[in-house]
Structure 1
């Protein structure tokens, strides 16, 4: 509760979103926030961004999908339903990567690796420290690499690591009775695999699964869309956490193989349907999702064509500003 009081004390000092201010008709305040937030606040680019925000608000006002029901069951020109599937899907898939079976049930996994007594709990604690530390890498990679590439590379590498973990776990069980010393050495290999897996997840999926849903929705439905994605996260987490203990009891080290296969399966929907959102304006999302095709590469192609046309508008705007400056 003490930390919640810190949050309550800090929130009043945070500025409102410029898009929210523009929606409330406070255009001057919105422009001021944009100027303060940009590293290089070029007034011409800020004016152009404000025009984009106002145009997005005008377009979104024509959409019929504003309630939870209409977002889920009404087809609109902004393809809000598709965005809900993507936003909720990324939250479900991040649970299927297997992070809960390692993070939540880490002591059990380290016990399967041949450790006993207090060792599994201590190793689990160390795993959480590396998990937290990997967030620094995630912050650095998120915009430089992009959401889509982080999801693809993360799932592929985690799948490979889990396959290695399955092989080592099999060997641990094989030598438990006949050669305890060798079993302990192999168990150390399993620990290394679990630590590496956690770092891979923390530096790729952990940030992406929370950032992506906030970026894909139109302004009018962003809060509701993000809420639905969070519901998907909670439901998937509940299911995974309920079944993992039974899986560990039933199939032992094959649980590594199961989640490795799920990671490889995740590569398919991410490659096919997930559009890159990094380093793009939120208003660009409406252009990206204006395509009738759900496939990412077709949406990107159409988006490039639309942006090429719009760039002419920015060039004309800058030229007009130059003319005004010369006249002044």
Structure 2
């Protein structure tokens, strides 16, 4: 529903609300843990029902989208809604040449799941829907979050170290997301991906070097100076900030805007499924890998940060200020992906060819 030149900002506002919710939840957990009698967890768990109730009630008042209405044949309602969203009456160009044409292309694709796997039509989008969520989880962000409480404890937080560290990293995560809100539509998605990858790589290696120099391969140390812990915590916060304005929000924004209408639902399902699977794998094997690899675990994830940053540099086209309905042309003009977008039997290509013929006529 967002205008294409503000699509990044509105999409990442969604991510900002998530980070605010995470921070609020962490603060609630920290405060309820102080309740005597050991029943504070009931308060924390019960309060989670409040936003759930708000979501449930608000869903009855949620507007449909013009694209969805067009897809279901409700063109008059779609045009009226589009005028209300854009705030102008002249929406013919966007409605006729973007939404209606996208709907016509989508109707030619009868089996979105089957077509999603076709090599000569949607291979770029399929690759992105798999690799971006995979790389997002294999940045090592979960490792950083899990290991942070031990380091914060050395700063004097005592038994509440894990909860306090969650508040600190959650606050950094929230404020850094604002950078992405400001810059995604100004600097572009690709530049933020690249800068965030380089920043995460530098400070992940720095964390590994610092912890390795102090703990070694045994993990035993009698005393950790507060100054040393402060440096490590600062590196962690800078690393989290790099993730928060790049791979955190853009890992959801980029896949959501690159799929044509005819495969959008199927491809988005792939994105979410891969993200959840990668999260599960990291969560299940993290502790075992940490015990076996020690500080080398950070180098392990730094390797993936290198791979994903190189991948972005060579294979990720910029999507800033491009209407979703015209996104297919981005892949057709990319130096690498265009070889997968020239199937003469692709029904979408036939529609585009007919449209160009009619325009010339």
Of residues 125, 134, 138, the one that matches 2:180 is 138
Q: Which of residues 118, 121, 146 in structure 2 aligns to 1:74?
A: 118
Which residue does the alignment assign to 2:20? Answer: none
Tell me: higher relative CO, structure 1 or 2? Use CA pairs within 8 A at least 6 residues apart: 2
Q: Give the unaligned 5+ runs of structure 2.
A: 1-48, 342-355
Q: Distance in 2 between matches of 1:139 and 1:193?
A: 23
Give 1:23's aligned residue: 71
Q: Within 2, Cα distance between the matches of 1:3 and 1:281?
A: 33
> How well do the aligned residues superpose, as a CA RMSD in angstroms?
3.2
Which residue does the alignment assign to 1:302?
none
Partner of 2:233: 191
Q: Residue by residue, what CA displacement relative to the aligned partner does 1:64-120 show, whole Å, maximum 9, x if unpaired?
A: 542x2x0443345xx224312212211111111111111244325657x79784364
Secondary structure (helix, strand or coil) at the match of 2:170 reads helix
Distance 1:284 1:9, change over 3 A: same
Quick check: 1:291–1:298 contact (8 Å CA) kept in 2? no
Match of 1:281 in 2: 323
- Please say if 1:53 is aligned against 2:99: yes
Partner of 1:9: 57
Whether the aligned pair in 2 keeps the contact of 1:65 and 1:71 (CA below 8 Å) is yes
Taking the TM superposition and a 5 Å limit, the aligned residue runs for 1:62-101 are 62-66=108-112, 68=113, 70-75=114-119, 79-101=121-143
SS at match of 2:60: helix
Specify the alignment match of 1:168 in structure 2: 210
After superposing the two structures, state which structure 1 stretch, 113-122 or 236-245, moved more. Answer: 113-122
1:36 aligns with 2:84: yes
Query: Does the residue aligned with 2:184 lie in a helix, a strand or coil?
Result: helix
State how many pairs are aligned. Answer: 294
Secondary structure of the structure 1 residue equivalent to 2:109: coil
Q: 1:162 to 1:115 in 2, by over 3 A?
A: farther
TM-score (structure 1 length as normaliser): 0.79
2:212 and 2:109 map into 1 onto residues whose CA distance is 55
Q: Which runs of 5+ in 1 are unaligned?
A: 300-312, 317-328
Separation of aligned partners in 1, 2:211 and 2:333? 47
What TM-score does the superposition give when structure 2 sets the normalisation length?
A: 0.72
Deviation readout 1:105-140 (Å, 9 max, x if unpaired): 4325657x7978436422333112222232222222
Evaluate the alpha carbon distance shift between residue 109 and residue 94 of structure 1 in structure 2; reply closer, same or farther with a 3 A threshold. Answer: farther
Aligned twin of 2:159: 118
Q: 1:321 maps to what in 2?
A: none
Q: Structure 1's 296 and 203: CA in aligned 2 closer, same or farther, altered over 3 A?
A: farther
The separation in 1 between residues aligned to 2:78 and 2:329, in whole angstroms, is 22
Q: 1:166-192 CA distances to partner (integer Å, 9 max, x unpaired)?
A: 2222333369858x46x4321211111
1:237, CA displacement in angstroms? 0.8
Distance in structure 1 (CA, Å) of the matches to 2:189 and 2:334: 22
Alpha-carbon deviation of 1:211? 1.3
How many Å apart are 1:145 and its aligned residue? Answer: 1.9
| C-alpha distance 18-184 of structure 1, shift in aligned 2 (>3 A) | same
* Alpha-carbon distance in 1 for matches of 2:221, 2:236: 23
